[in-house]
Amino acid sequence: MVLLDGKKLSEEILNEITEEVKSIKAKGGKIPHLAAIIVGHDGASETYVNNKVKSCERVGFKSTHIKLPETCTEKELLDQVIAINNNPDIDGLIVQLPLPKHLSADKITHTILPEKDVDGFHPSNVGRMALGLPSYISATPNGVLEILERYKIPTEGKHCVVLGRSNIVGSPMSILMSKNTYPGNSTVTICHSKTSNLREITRQADILIVAIGKPEFVTADMVKDNAVVIDVGIHRIADASKKSGFRLIGDVKFDEVAAKASHITPVPGGVGLMTICSLLSNTLKASKKEIYG
């Protein structure tokens, strides 16, 4: 079994971005600038945004971190988004999801300019991605593609089963894996919580990408021998033995499934770190105006 080490790959990618930023600075070019907005005090979201800010510092990006109270109105949040849209120094903007229930995630993400939408959630970027046009690909699916490519995992002609159909991961992942590209050229089946005979379908997968949002949902009896297993899920569960009081697990029961898989991502240390790298890569592209000119 080969561990698909997101920590190692993320270090490689961050080093590559760092070197490119040094070159930009040396030539007097524009330093990439990422802004992040977080609403409320969700622990997992705060940790994730803090990691994004630290990663910006690590590679030499500028970053802006805006915190709004959970009670903020939709207008107050939209005003922040519009101000950043109009700020020529800021290249990329992310609004951390999930948002409090009184705020429309669709309205907020659709207000972000497509050229600053480095999360790849705007309909313009989703549509361009589906058509095979240059776009900002959602950070998590892009991170999965990086893992497959950098570990040279064959995908052409393979049966790829995507478990989960969210607009953020499952749906774009299924499109990308079916594209006439590498990674891609797979025969793709997309499954979800309402799929009949789910176990029979996942057991057919040469590549199983799991983003169903349920802790340790995928067990050994759902996986074919020597399958490649990509676990996108991440969950905090209470653990009194840990200093933090919790530990992180994925959507896959790791110990069971690792014994059968040819390749598998760990949680933590897998896809999550690659997601941040993809976000920084998109911001670098935005600063260079590679997608929208």
**Residue 3 carries which side chain, given as an amino acid letter?**
L
CA atoms within 13 A on the CB side of 220: 7
Q: How many angstroms separate the CA atoms of 119 and 100, rounded?
A: 19
The residue whose two tokens read 């802790």 is 215
Q: In the 8-state DSSP scheme, what is residue 162?
A: E
Set 119, 206, 231, 251: catalytic member: 119
> Which of 222, 86, 135 lies closest to 123 in space, CA to CA?
135
96, 116, 117, 206: the catalytic one is 96
Find the catalytic residue in 52, 116, 158, 224.
52
User: How far is the C-alpha of 292 from the C-alpha of 123, rounded, in Å?
Assistant: 14
- Examine the residue annotation and report whether 239 is marked as an active-site residue of this protein: no
Q: How far apart are CA 170 and CA 188, in angstroms?
A: 11
* 96 flagged as catalytic: yes
42 annotated active-site:
no
CA atoms of 151 and 242, how far apart (whole Å): 32
Residues labelled as active-site residues: 52, 96, 119
